């Protein structure tokens, strides 16, 4: 690159997408309005488990406006099928509208349509759903109780799937152990809860026979494929558009039955149909996450070396299997990631998903890793305490230092900065550790410091999904890059941007490869009409794979620009350098041609092209992930202060040391880390979906489901190591989820340190802290 | 249906609405102001915040028919299509937004706060800034960039006044 031209990758460039978001000009799903549009309201189950006796719609006749109503009888046979091809897995389908039975409170039973949303809501109130209650399966213990009926006909029990994964000789590890430490850890049910709920608008055009579906989704192409398969429509005549999306976090990273249903309703009624989820619906019937119990047994040598680990993992799945990651995805991921950043070669995990009468479990930022890391890192502290070792020293003794490293399950870790991150964190926290120690003599104010050390497999490639046999099947991201005759650039990106800054970072990547300014690059995304087929934005693959695809595609165009420039300047392409909007000759930098002139030659003045070269400046790249993904690493630390007389806990400090490989834009990277951390703090301290014993949801508004507010959160300190991976084109590793993975473990360890107790479960809310600190208060 | 005249962003317009219709819905549908976002519709998240006579108010807890003879302001009027208001610019430079859904609500809540601080010629502490936004939920940023944006908007103005 020309020595004096700025490199855009790595620059702290302000985001191009911000102006429309700040000015109110953005278009979210509820801003899609079409002439003649009908509004849909779902009548939902009030009973957690029951047989539908009757759906009485006679009340609609009393209304003085037109309504349309559809039930499971109308949509019979249409369903969500999310099956992982494991022989042990019991098959289930979720009907688009309940057929015969309801299996959780909030399940859609009928769709009621009217010409105004207020009217469709009123009309849905007129329906009476008569249900004969069945025994409720409300807990994981009940799901394993053979005396309770299975949720689905033909099932042998409510254990949806149970499998094992193992590596090395666990018996030998156990025999060699001087210490065997066994603990059970528990994480609560919560979810991503974006500020914009979900919503779908659909319209079928009879003239060209094209079905257009707008959905607040992270994966428009997968929505298109599923609708095509389920409604038996040619995929070429389905267009799915994700408009501006108000947060996703994995919640919008599955295909939902309502996306198929709203499309079906638009075709059935011949009118555009819109459904906008309200907050109560979102909290009870969209998607839930976490809800794990892990029993871990560690085998440790006398000198503090981890020899082996045995794990038993259960996830309360709720009623249905979600598409495309399925019921097996969440517990299986725990089994896969528990070996973590530590060097040991004997492991066995048994994992299972259990069916209960609750909202289904799906993906949420970190997918199983926040729970796995909570257990792994609480266990590390519990072992260190039992052996009388310092938590840093114990981890440094066992941390992986040589790369590439093949772990106990056969996954290969690419280079990272595991030990360096721990050592830096140790230095950063020295004063807090001393202050905590000093406070432990006090019975009024206790300070605690806790850390979480973890890795995250990101940007998984197709082989990973093939091994798992999930319906997702692949993990590539595509980009099509095109230069117009004026030299400006369009990227049609297979990712969907919902806060990640992709309209800016992808422009930075193309700008460096093409020698133009990022501001001359327009990034389009979210519309299957314009973007190449891709799996969407999830699994921390945007920067690593989307960036890789843009880079490689842009280089193909750059090669052609160089060939044209060489022809016009009578030199060879390797003599040409693209920078600052010009094609320079390396040996004579005062000789240059504007890139816009080359673009015009490629597309308009094609007589100027080298002999035999075809016109055009476009290229496409599908970037698949590496076989085992690329491993990002981080250490999180929390400093808490607990007022023992009241049990009030304050988060005083939160520090992150992270390594996501090449940083595309530090503004965006820090934003992703901090946002993830605060969601993780929500998991650790606040958020909890509570059901009563009849499986009635009790947290149905933001007054009950508590997310972190600004006053409870400190500024989040972020430090970086940058170890580029050889496995992606730019050296970038995945980044989006990491922030959310560590906080529950770090805060759990901080509370344990402050109070001198073992912490076994989250959330560590005011009630939990009150109980955990009881031993420090005088007995009443 | 009730005929009401609302003054929104400096322009008065007469609309026919049901008395139960929420101000948020009337602004979005009858005034085409898509910057008014509904996050929870039960007054807990602050996404729908607009200003009524300059004071932040939740448009999901307000009926449109209550709003005659007041001045309603939405994010569209703050800095126009280029988002030129000092607070909007500070949100951009400090990465105070990601998905943007909660952002108009934060801007409408915090712009009067910035004005108050500037009138008092005072830089608030981070704790005070965080308290000022405690009625708004942001799920993306972790609030860090929003706190920085408020500090920058106030700091830049105080700095340029001092320099002048």
Please write the tens of the pLDDT for every residue from A570-590.
Answer: 999 999 999 999 999 999 989
* pLDDT digits 0-9 by tens, B77-104: 999 999 999 999 999 999 999 999 999 9
Cα A748 from Cα A764, distance rounded (Å): 7
A590: containing domain = 18-26+476-623
How close does chain A come to B155, measured CA to CA in Å?
18
3-state helix, strand, coil split of chain A in percent (to 5) is 30, 30, 40
Test A195 with B144 for CB contact under 8 angstroms: no
* Mean pLDDT score of chain A: 97
Test A24 with B35 for CB contact under 8 angstroms: yes
Domain CATH for A368: 3.30.365.10
First to last CA, chain B: 54
Give residues 20 to 59 of B whose Cβ lies within 8 Å of A. 20-21, 28, 33-42, 44-45, 47
Give contacts of B104 with chain A, Cβ < 8 Å.
Answer: 22, 24
- Residue A145 contacts B where some CB pair is shorter than 8 Å: no
Cβ-nearest to A279 among B42, B79, B133: B42
Among chain B residues, CA nearest to A702: B44
Q: What was the pLDDT predicted at A589?
A: 85
User: Is there a single domain that holds both residue A302 and residue A333?
Assistant: yes
How close does chain B come to A249, measured CA to CA in Å?
9
User: Is there a single domain that holds both residue A573 and residue A595?
Assistant: yes
If one counts every other C-beta atom within 10 angstroms of the C-beta of residue A388, the result is 8
Nearest to A763 by CA among A188, A379, A283, A377: A188
Q: What was the pLDDT predicted at A606?
A: 98
Q: What was the pLDDT predicted at A3?
A: 61
Test B33 with A14 for CB contact under 8 angstroms: no
Test B103 with A21 for CB contact under 8 angstroms: yes
Cβ-nearest to A193 among B37, B127, B139: B139
pLDDT at B164 over 90: no
What is the number of residues in chain B?
164
Q: 3-state class of A156 per DSSP?
A: coil
Q: What was the pLDDT predicted at A481?
A: 98
Angstrom CA distances, B103 to A18, A20, A499, B35, stand at 10, 11, 12, 9
Among chain A residues, CA nearest to B133: A710
Q: Give me the interface pTM, i.e. the ipTM.
A: 0.98
User: Is there a single domain that holds both residue A91 and residue A226?
Assistant: yes
Whether residue A181 lies inside any domain: the answer is: no
Whether residue A151 lies inside any domain: the answer is: no
How close does chain A come to B163, measured CA to CA in Å?
26
Interface probe, candidates B1, B17, B27, B101, chain A, greatest A C-beta count within 10 A:
B101
User: Is there a single domain that holds both residue A60 and residue A206?
Assistant: yes
Give contacts of B38 with chain A, Cβ < 8 Å.
Answer: 30
Nearest to A710 by CA among B92, B96, B42: B96
Query: What does the block give as tokens for A360?
Result: 């289904």
User: Is there a single domain that holds both residue A495 and residue A436?
Assistant: no
User: Is there a single domain that holds both residue A647 and residue A744?
Assistant: yes
The last residue of one of the domains, among A598, A623, A648, is: A623
Cβ-nearest to A675 among B28, B36, B141: B141
Whether residue A153 lies inside any domain: the answer is: no
Element (H, E) at A117: helix A117-125
If one counts every other C-beta atom within 10 angstroms of the C-beta of residue A66, the result is 12
Sequence-distant (≥ 6) Cβ neighbours of residue A446 within 8 angstroms: A439, A440, A641, A642, A644, A754, A755, A773, A776
How close does chain A come to B159, measured CA to CA in Å?
22
What is the average pLDDT across A745-768?
Answer: 98
Give residues 76 to 105 of A whose Cβ lies within 8 Å of B. none
Cβ-nearest to B95 among A245, A667, A709: A667
Q: Do the bridges between strand B2-8 and strand B71-73 make them parallel or antiparallel, or are there none, so unpaired? A: parallel
Test B76 with A501 for CB contact under 8 angstroms: no
Helix segments in A159-235, DSSP class H? 170-176, 220-231
β-sheet bridge partners, residue B41: none
Interface probe, candidates A16, A17, A24, chain B, greatest B C-beta count within 10 A:
A24
pLDDT at A298 over 70: yes
* pLDDT digits 0-9 by tens, A695-742: 999 999 999 999 999 999 999 999 999 999 999 999 999 999 999 999
Query: What does the block give as tokens for B99?
Result: 């998905």
How close does chain B come to A402, measured CA to CA in Å?
35
Query: E-assigned strands of A191-237?
Result: 199-205, 210-215
Whether residue A143 lies inside any domain: the answer is: no
Q: What was the pLDDT predicted at A6?
A: 77
Whether residue A688 lies inside any domain: the answer is: yes
Element (H, E) at A41: strand A38-44
Whether residue A4 lies inside any domain: the answer is: no
How close does chain A come to B121, measured CA to CA in Å?
23
pLDDT at A1 over 60: no
Confirm if A751 and A642 have CB atoms less than 8 A apart. Answer: yes
Interface probe, candidates A15, A114, A195, chain B, greatest B C-beta count within 10 A:
A195
Cα B51 from Cα B41, distance rounded (Å): 17
Give contacts of A679 with chain B, Cβ < 8 Å.
Answer: 139, 142
Give contacts of A21 with chain B, Cβ < 8 Å.
Answer: 97, 99-100, 103
Test A18 with B91 for CB contact under 8 angstroms: yes
Nearest to A674 by CA among B76, B158, B147: B147
User: Is there a single domain that holds both residue A295 and residue A381?
Assistant: yes
Nearest to A747 by CA among A639, A635, A633, A641: A639
What is the average pLDDT across A87-92?
Answer: 93
Query: What does the block give as tokens for A167?
Result: 């590596």
Cβ-nearest to B82 among A19, A246, A498: A19
Q: 3-state class of A217 per DSSP?
A: coil
Q: Range with the lowest mean pLDDT among A482-486, A536-540, A617-621, B132-136?
A: A536-540
User: Is there a single domain that holds both residue A725 and residue A585?
Assistant: no
Give contacts of A709 with chain B, Cβ < 8 Å.
Answer: 134, 137
Residues of chain B with CATH 3.10.20.30: 2-74
Give contacts of B130 with chain A, Cβ < 8 Å.
Answer: 710-711, 713
DSSP, res A545: I
First to last CA, chain A: 74
- Residue B128 contacts A where some CB pair is shorter than 8 Å: no
Burial A263-300 (b: 16+ CB within 10 A, else e): bbbbbbbebbbbbbbbbbbbbbbbbbbbbbbbebbbbb
Confirm if A242 and A194 have CB atoms less than 8 A apart. Answer: no
How close does chain A come to B138, measured CA to CA in Å?
7
Architecture of the CATH domain B2-74: Roll (3.10)
- Residue A302 contacts B where some CB pair is shorter than 8 Å: no
User: Is there a single domain that holds both residue A697 and residue A593?
Assistant: no
User: Is there a single domain that holds both residue A236 and residue A202?
Assistant: yes
Cα A31 from Cα B25, distance rounded (Å): 11
What is the average pLDDT across A121-141?
Answer: 97
Query: What does the block give as tokens for A152?
Result: 């689905």
Cα A342 from Cα A633, distance rounded (Å): 12
Confirm if A581 and A599 have CB atoms less than 8 A apart. Answer: no
How close does chain A come to B27, measured CA to CA in Å?
12
Q: What was the pLDDT predicted at A5?
A: 75
Q: What was the pLDDT predicted at A2?
A: 65
Whether residue A593 lies inside any domain: the answer is: yes
User: Is there a single domain that holds both residue A389 and residue A265?
Assistant: no
Give residues 89 to 118 of B whose Cβ lies within 8 Å of A. 91-93, 95, 97-104, 107
Query: What does the block give as tokens for A477?
Result: 């991201």
Q: 3-state class of B71 per DSSP?
A: strand
User: Is there a single domain that holds both residue A363 and residue A457?
Assistant: yes
CA dihedral over A742, A747, A753, A756, signed as positive or negative: negative
Domain CATH for A202: 3.90.1170.50
- The residue assigned the tokens 């920058």 is B152
What is the average pLDDT across A434-461?
Answer: 97
Residues of chain B with CATH 1.10.150.120: 79-163
How is A613-659 classified by DSSP, letter by letter? Answer: PPS--EEEEEEPPPTT-EEEEEEEEEEEEEETTTTEEEEEEEEEEEE
* pLDDT digits 0-9 by tens, A256-266: 999 999 999 99
| CATH placement of domain B79-163 | 1.10.150.120
Per the structure, the count of domains in chain A is 3
Test B18 with A118 for CB contact under 8 angstroms: yes
Angstrom CA distances, A582 to A202, A321, A515, A618, stand at 45, 54, 7, 19
Sequence-distant (≥ 6) Cβ neighbours of residue A68 within 8 angstroms: A38, A112, A113, A114, A269
* pLDDT digits 0-9 by tens, A215-249: 999 999 999 999 999 999 999 999 999 999 999 99
Whether residue A742 lies inside any domain: the answer is: yes
Test B83 with A194 for CB contact under 8 angstroms: no
């Amino acid at each position: 690159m020309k020595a004096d031209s700025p490199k855009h990758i790595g620059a702290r460039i302000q985001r191009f997408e911000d102006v429309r978001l700040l000015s109110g000009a953005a278009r979210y799903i509820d801003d899609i309005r079409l002439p003649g549009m009908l509004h849909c309201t779902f009548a939902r189950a009030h009973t957690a488990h029951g047989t539908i006796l009757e759906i009485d719609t006679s009340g609609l006749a009393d209304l003085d406006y037109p309504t349309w109503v559809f039930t499971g009888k109308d949509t019979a046979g249409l369903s969500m099928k999310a099956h992982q091809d494991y022989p042990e897995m019991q098959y289930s389908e979720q009907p688009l509208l309940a057929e015969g039975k309801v299996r959780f409170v909030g399940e859609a039973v009928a769709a009621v349509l009217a010409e105004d949303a207020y009217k469709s809501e009123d009309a849905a109130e007129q329906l009476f759903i008569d249900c004969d209650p069945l025994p409720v399966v409300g807990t994981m213990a009940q799901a394993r109780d053979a005396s309770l009926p299975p949720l689905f006909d033909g099932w042998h029990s409510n254990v949806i799937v149970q499998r094992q994964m193992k590596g090395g000789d666990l018996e030998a590890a156990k025999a060699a152990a001087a210490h065997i430490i066994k603990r059970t850890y528990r994480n609560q049910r919560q979810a991503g809860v974006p500020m914009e709920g979900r919503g779908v608008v659909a319209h079928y055009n009879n003239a060209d026979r094209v079905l257009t579906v707008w959905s607040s989704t992270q994966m428009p192409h997968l929505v298109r494929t599923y609708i095509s398969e389920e409604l038996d429509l040619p995929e070429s005549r389905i267009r799915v558009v994700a408009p501006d999306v108000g947060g996703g976090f994995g919640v919008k990273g599955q295909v939902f039955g309502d996306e198929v249903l709203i499309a079906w309703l638009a075709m059935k009624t011949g009118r555009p149909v819109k459904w906008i989820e309200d907050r109560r619906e979102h909290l009870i019937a969209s998607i839930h996450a976490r809800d794990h119990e892990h029993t871990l047994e560690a085998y440790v040598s006398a000198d503090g070396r981890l020899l082996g680990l045995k794990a038993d993992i259960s996830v309360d799945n709720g009623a249905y299997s979600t598409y495309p990651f399925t019921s097996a995805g969440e517990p299986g991921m725990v089994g896969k990631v528990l070996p973590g950043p530590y060097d040991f070669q004997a492991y066995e995990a048994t994992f299972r998903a259990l069916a209960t009468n609750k909202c289904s479990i799906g993906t949420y930022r970190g997918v199983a890793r926040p729970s796995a890391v909570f257990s792994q890192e609480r266990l590390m502290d519990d072992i260190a305490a039992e052996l009388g070792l310092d938590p840093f020293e114990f981890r440094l003794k066992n941390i992986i230092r040589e790369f590439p490293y093949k772990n106990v399950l056969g996954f290969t870790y690419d280079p990272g900065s595991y030990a360096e991150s721990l050592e830096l964190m140790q230095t950063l926290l020295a004063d807090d550790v001393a202050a905590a120690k000093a406070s432990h003599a006090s019975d009024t104010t206790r300070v605690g410091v806790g850390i979480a050390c973890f890795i995250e497999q990101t940007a998984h490639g197709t082989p990973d999904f093939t091994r798992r046999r999930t319906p997702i099947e692949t993990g590539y991201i595509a980009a099509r890059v095109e230069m117009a005759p004026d030299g400006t650039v369009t990227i049609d990106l297979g990712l969907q941007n919902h806060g990640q800054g992709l309209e800016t970072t992808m422009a930075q990547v193309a700008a460096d490869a093409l020698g133009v300014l990022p501001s001359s690059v327009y990034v389009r995304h979210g519309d299957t009409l314009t973007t190449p087929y891709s799996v969407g934005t999830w699994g921390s693959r945007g920067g690593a794979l989307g960036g890789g695809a843009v880079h490689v595609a842009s280089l193909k165009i750059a090669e052609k620009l160089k060939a044209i420039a060489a022809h016009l300047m009578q030199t060879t392409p390797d003599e040409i350098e693209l920078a600052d909007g010009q094609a320079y000759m390396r040996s004579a930098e005062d000789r240059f041609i504007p890139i816009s002139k080359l673009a015009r030659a490629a597309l308009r003045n094609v007589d100027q092209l080298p002999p035999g070269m075809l016109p055009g400046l476009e290229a496409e790249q599908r970037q698949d992930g590496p076989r085992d993904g690329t491993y990002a690493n981080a250490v999180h630390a929390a400093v808490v202060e607990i007022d023992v007389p009241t049990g009030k806990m304050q988060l005083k400090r939160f520090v992150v040391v992270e390594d996501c490989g090449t940083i595309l834009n530090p503004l965006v990277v820090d934003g992703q880390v901090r946002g993830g951390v605060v969601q993780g703090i929500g998991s650790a301290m606040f958020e909890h979906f509570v059901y009563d014993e009849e499986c009635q949801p009790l947290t149905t508004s933001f007054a009950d489901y508590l997310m972190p507010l600004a006053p409870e959160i400190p500024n989040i300190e972020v430090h970086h190591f940058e170890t580029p991976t050889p496995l992606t084109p730019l050296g970038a590793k995945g980044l989006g989820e990491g922030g959310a993975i560590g906080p529950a473990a770090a805060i759990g360890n901080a509370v344990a340190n402050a109070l001198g107790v073992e912490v076994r479960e989250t959330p560590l809310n005011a009630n939990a802290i009150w109980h955990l600190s009881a031993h420090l208060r005088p007995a009443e | 249906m009730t005929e009401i005249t609302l003054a929104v962003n400096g322009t008065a317009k007469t609309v026919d609405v049901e008395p139960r219709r929420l101000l948020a819905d009337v602004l979005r549908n009858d005034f085409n102001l898509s910057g008014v976002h509904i996050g929870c519709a039960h007054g807990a998240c602050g996404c729908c915040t607009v200003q009524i006579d300059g004071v932040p108010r939740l448009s999901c807890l307000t009926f449109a028919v209550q709003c005659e003879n007041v001045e309603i302001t939405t994010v569209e009027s703050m800095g126009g299509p280029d988002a030129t208001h000092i607070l909007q610019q500070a949100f951009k430079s400090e990465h105070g937004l990601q998905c943007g859904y909660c952002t108009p609500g934060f801007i409408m809540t915090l712009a009067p706060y910035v004005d108050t601080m500037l009138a008092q010629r005072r830089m608030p502490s981070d704790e005070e800034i965080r308290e000022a936004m405690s009625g708004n939920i942001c799920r993306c940023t972790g609030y860090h960039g929003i706190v920085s944006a408020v500090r920058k908007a106030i700091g830049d103005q105080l700095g340029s006044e001092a320099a002048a």
